[in-house]
């Protein structure tokens, strides 16, 4: 791990190295780190990094990983009811991809000195968050399409710049995640198009889903720039490349013509092209709802977390068995291939 950490810097260690010497060493490491970030070089797990940078990355990557696994729930809700075998196969593959994304992201977080178990524990105890979007329910089949088109579309807008994140393992995980998310977004669009062009009832189902998912999708970019506590530092470290409002605008500009192509309307009377800005203007977001859902009062917060905890508790005996079996056979090599 690191040669010097913020915890040890500034104290006189057992070796008798003076505070001044430690501080000088720390400053030298920081200079190297800052220069690497400025030069667009990747920071790798064995490189020295400021503790605050490490903590910020763990928080963000963990939240991202948690969002992937909690995000399986609203879509898995429709696997057993998918209306055609083709749609069922696509949906199962999509939910499986999300589990896979969770795996890469927990692995990326582990390179920072934490563990999946520790992070899951923080998720289950409410000490770490996941994206609030998943606290909304999937009420009809069209919600699966709307999630693909809008929620995955917003996620891609957020995540493509992270492919250039200063931290190597996160950036690399994100390249793979974005490729798959791009497929998810297209299948969502295509599923909604089929509904929009289908029967009257199917069209109405699609419109209803878009009406419900549009505003929460805009909230996915986080609070407005002047209220975002993490943005400035994350941008200085090149973990983040654009502000919340910039990304939100980019998403709106992409989504409006897509909605037109779908033959569906977006539920915002103030949505119109602004020639002068070269962007779409859009109406005011209900930030009260955003903060309310974030604090735990969304339609499905309790349900999502309870289900996650239940799955974890129900699986405890399985994980214990796998560990016990591995321990029994670690010396003999017998059944050694039996890894989860």
Under the criterion CB under 8 A, does residue 206 sit at the interface with another protein? no
Under the criterion CB under 8 A, does residue 69 sit at the interface with another protein? yes
Q: Considering beta carbons, is residue 1 or 340 the nearer one to another protein?
A: 340
CA dist 197 → 85, 192, 213, 256 (Å) = 20, 8, 19, 18
Under the criterion CB under 8 A, does residue 332 sit at the interface with another protein? no
| Count of Cβ atoms closer than 10 Å to residue 277 Cβ | 9
Question: How many Å apart are CA 17 and CA 14, to the nearest integer?
Answer: 8
How many chain residues interact with another protein (CB under 8 A)? 53
Supply the angle between the helices 168-196 and 200-219 in degrees, to the nearest 10.
Answer: 150
Under the criterion CB under 8 A, does residue 263 sit at the interface with another protein? no
Contacts of another protein in 159-188 (CB under 8 A)? none
Q: How far is the CB of 68 from another protein (least distance, A)?
A: 9
Q: Considering beta carbons, is residue 88 or 172 the nearer one to another protein?
A: 88
Under the criterion CB under 8 A, does residue 300 sit at the interface with another protein? no
Q: Considering beta carbons, is residue 22 or 82 the nearer one to another protein?
A: 82
Under the criterion CB under 8 A, does residue 331 sit at the interface with another protein? no
Question: How many Å apart are CA 119 and CA 105, to the nearest integer?
Answer: 11
Residues composing the chain? 340
Q: Considering beta carbons, is residue 179 or 335 the nearer one to another protein?
A: 335
3-class secondary-structure state, position 7: coil
Per-residue mark of binding to another protein, 88-117 (x: CB under 8 A) = xx--xx-xx--xx-xx--x---------x-
Nearest alpha-carbon partner for 98 in 59, 155, 167, 169: 155
Under the criterion CB under 8 A, does residue 45 sit at the interface with another protein? no
Q: How far is the CB of 99 from another protein (least distance, A)?
A: 4
Question: How many Å apart are CA 96 and CA 61, to the nearest integer?
Answer: 19
Under the criterion CB under 8 A, does residue 7 sit at the interface with another protein? no
Supply the angle between the helices 85-110 and 168-196 in degrees, to the nearest 10.
Answer: 160
């Amino acid at each position: 791990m690191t040669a010097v950490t913020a915890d040890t810097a500034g104290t006189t260690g057992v070796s008798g190295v003076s505070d001044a010497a430690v501080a000088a060493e720390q400053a030298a490491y920081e200079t190297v780190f800052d220069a690497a970030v400025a030069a667009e070089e990747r920071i790798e797990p064995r490189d020295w990094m400021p503790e605050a940078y490490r903590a910020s990355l763990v928080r963000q990557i963990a939240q991202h990983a948690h969002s992937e696994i909690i995000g399986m729930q609203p879509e898995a809700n429709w696997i057993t009811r998918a209306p055609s075998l083709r749609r069922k196969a696509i949906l199962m593959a999509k939910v499986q991809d999300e589990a896979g994304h969770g795996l890469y992201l927990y692995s990326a977080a582990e390179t920072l000195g934490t563990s999946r178990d520790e992070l899951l524990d923080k998720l289950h105890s409410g000490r770490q968050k996941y994206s609030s979007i998943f606290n909304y329910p999937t009420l009809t089949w069209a919600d699966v399409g709307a999630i693909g088109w809008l929620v995955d579309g917003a996620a891609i807008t957020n995540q493509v710049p992270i492919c250039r994140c200063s931290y190597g393992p996160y950036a690399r995980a994100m390249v793979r995640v974005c490729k798959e998310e791009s497929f998810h977004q297209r299948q969502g669009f295509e599923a909604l198009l089929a509904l929009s062009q289908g029967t009257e009832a199917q069209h109405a189902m699609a419109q209803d889903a878009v009406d419900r998912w549009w505003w929460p999708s805009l909230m996915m970019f986080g609070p407005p720039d002047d209220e975002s506590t993490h943005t400035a530092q994350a941008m200085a470290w090149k973990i983040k490349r654009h502000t919340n409002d910039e990304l939100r605008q980019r998403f709106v500009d992409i989504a409006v013509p897509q909605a037109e192509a779908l033959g569906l309307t977006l539920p915002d009377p103030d949505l119109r092209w602004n020639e002068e800005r070269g962007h779409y203007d859009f109406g005011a977001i209900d930030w009260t709802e955003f903060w309310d859902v974030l604090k735990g009062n969304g339609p499905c917060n309790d349900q999502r977390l309870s289900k996650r905890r239940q799955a974890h508790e129900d699986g405890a005996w399985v994980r214990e068995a796998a560990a016990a079996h591995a321990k029994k056979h670690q010396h003999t090599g017998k059944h050694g291939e039996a890894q989860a």
